[in-house]
């Protein structure tokens, strides 16, 4: 669709960038679910099945440690997996976005930032479906009895938390896309790194606290705060800690600004390296 188009000016208008962004996002969504029996249902099956596995492995032993009281462990795990899968899916898509679009990069000029941005936007579709699965499970546990949904106005803060997380994913994603373009083994390392990152982010196991090292890891990892804050709003119906959320948002914006600056600075070399 874009191959063969001639761009007379290097200055792209907002409307043209917007149209390109929408088309790339829609293309990523179509490719993800094409020739798939379950299609978009995978966005629900993946977090539910992962939560089931962690419930089987950790559910009985971690409940007293987590201090969940009457909160079912499957809900604890799923409320962490939904934002985390959005984050990990964004990074996994971003890391290969430049290499996968080599034909566009070598033939047409346009702002290269639209590639990682469209990857993050496409992952938001899976996140939305994951939210539906989370609320369905919450309603089911309330129907069973022994646990009640805690509605509160703090639930309105959750979209802002996910927005900050999306900016963080975009910033890191631009770094990874560049690194994978110059060194192709980065893609393999990212898969391993994301798995390790999950276990220190309080997704299915409480984040380490109570020691100096644990506190440093907690505050230095924005995903720990984003997951905990999202869980507080959605699952517990309470306010996230402003003192912990503010530094995480600051790190997210810093990662975005530095990632964008470096990405833009190196973009003239992309066509040479592909």
Domain extent listing, the chain: 14-273
Query: Which of 136-150, 176-190, 197-211, 235-249 is predicted least confidently?
Result: 197-211
Whether the CB-CB separation of 7 and 108 falls below 8 Å is answered with yes
What pTM value is reported for the model? 0.85
What does the block give as tokens for 175? 């770094």
The answer to whether 168 and 245 are in contact (CB under 8 A) is no
State the Cα–Cα distance between residues 226 and 58, nearest whole angstrom: 22
Residue 5 is predicted with a pLDDT of 39
d(C-alpha 233, C-alpha 255), whole Å: 24
Q: Quote the mean pLDDT of the chain.
A: 82
Model confidence at 168: pLDDT above 90: yes
Give the integer Cα–Cα distance in Å for 123 and 89. 6
Residue 207 has pLDDT above 60, yes or no: yes
Convert the pLDDT of each residue in 126-153 to its tens digit.
899 899 999 999 998 888 877 778 777 7
């Amino acid at each position: 669709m874009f191959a063969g188009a001639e761009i007379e000016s290097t200055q792209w208008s907002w409307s043209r960038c917007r149209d390109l962004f929408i088309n790339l996002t829609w293309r990523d969504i179509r490719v993800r679910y094409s020739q798939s029996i379950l299609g978009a249902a995978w966005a629900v099956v993946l977090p539910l099945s992962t939560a089931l596995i962690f419930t089987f492995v950790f559910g009985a032993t971690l409940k007293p440690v987590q201090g969940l009281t009457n909160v079912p462990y499957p809900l604890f795990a799923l409320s962490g997996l939904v934002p985390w899968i959005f984050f990990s899916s964004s990074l996994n898509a971003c890391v290969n976005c430049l290499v996968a679009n080599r034909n566009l990069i070598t033939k047409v000029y346009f702002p290269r930032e639209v590639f990682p941005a469209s990857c993050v936007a496409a992952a938001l579709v899976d996140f939305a479906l994951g939210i539906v699965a989370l609320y369905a499970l919450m309603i089911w546990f309330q129907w069973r009895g022994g646990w009640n949904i805690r509605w509160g106005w703090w639930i309105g803060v959750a979209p802002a938390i996910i927005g900050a997380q999306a900016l963080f994913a975009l910033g890191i994603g631009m770094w990874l896309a560049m690194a994978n373009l110059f060194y192709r083994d980065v893609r393999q390392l990212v898969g391993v790194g994301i798995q390790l990152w999950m276990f220190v982010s309080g997704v299915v196991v409480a984040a380490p606290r109570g020691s100096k090292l644990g506190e440093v890891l907690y505050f230095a990892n924005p995903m720990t705060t984003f997951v905990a804050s999202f869980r507080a709003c959605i699952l517990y119906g309470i306010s996230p800690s402003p003192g912990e959320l503010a530094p995480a948002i600051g790190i997210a914006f810093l990662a975005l600004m530095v990632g964008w600056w470096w990405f833009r600075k190196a973009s003239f070399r992309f066509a040479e390296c592909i």
